[in-house]
Amino acid sequence: MASLEVIRGELADAHKDTRLNLQAVLEGGSLTPEQRWGVAVACAFAARNERLKEAIVNEAKKALANAEPVIEDARAAASLMGMNNVYYRFRHMIGKESYSTKRPGLRMNRLAQVLTNKVDFELVCLAVSAINGCEMCVQSHEKVVIEGGLSEDQVHDAVRIASVIHAAAVGLES
């Protein structure tokens, strides 16, 4: 069972910035611990590196008194955005009005059945959508979290975490 510190140590010198950023983005900032670790866990799932995912989940369990709902929501968000980001990115890229009028027909009940809270779940979805490069989803989730009372600083910190988690997965694979 790899710790996040071990993972950081495995990043080659070419990834020194990522190694340093991985520590920095997971400490402090404008996010609550639940938001920070929810984003980190979901982004580790989205980044698809098993060892990084395991380390991030273990750190979340250590950092949060009630980690399981946060981890389960993060897992659900990563999966749902894996589906939605592909679908909505296609609709955006193809640019045909005819596709925009079609009903997606994709089940997304979990979006309404969160274990933590709706705004935090949307923030996690935004971060995963940033990794997956879906402009429509990023814009949609950003609007919901801002209207839900989160700040642009919180959005910014969530996307910073997403970018560094993704970079760490790339670094571990290279």
What does each of the 174 residues of the chain score in pLDDT, given as a tens digit? 679 999 999 999 999 999 999 999 999 899 999 999 999 999 999 999 999 999 999 999 999 999 999 999 999 999 999 999 999 999 999 999 999 999 999 999 998 999 999 999 999 999 999 999 999 999 999 999 999 999 999 999 999 999 999 999 999 998
The domain total for the chain is: 1
Domain containing 31 — which CATH number? Answer: 1.20.1290.10
Question: What's the whole-model pTM score?
Answer: 0.96
Question: Is there a contact between 142 and 33 (Cβ–Cβ < 8 Å)?
Answer: no
Among 154, 137, 142, residue whose Cα is nearest residue 82: 137
Residues annotated catalytic, as ranges: 134, 137
Tell me which residue range forms the domain holding 151: 4-172
Residue with tokens 């694979």: 173
Q: What is the distance between the alpha carbons of residues 131 and 102, in angstroms, rounded to a whole number?
A: 26
Question: Is there a contact between 75 and 37 (Cβ–Cβ < 8 Å)?
Answer: no
Which helix or strand (DSSP H or E) is residue 31 part of? none
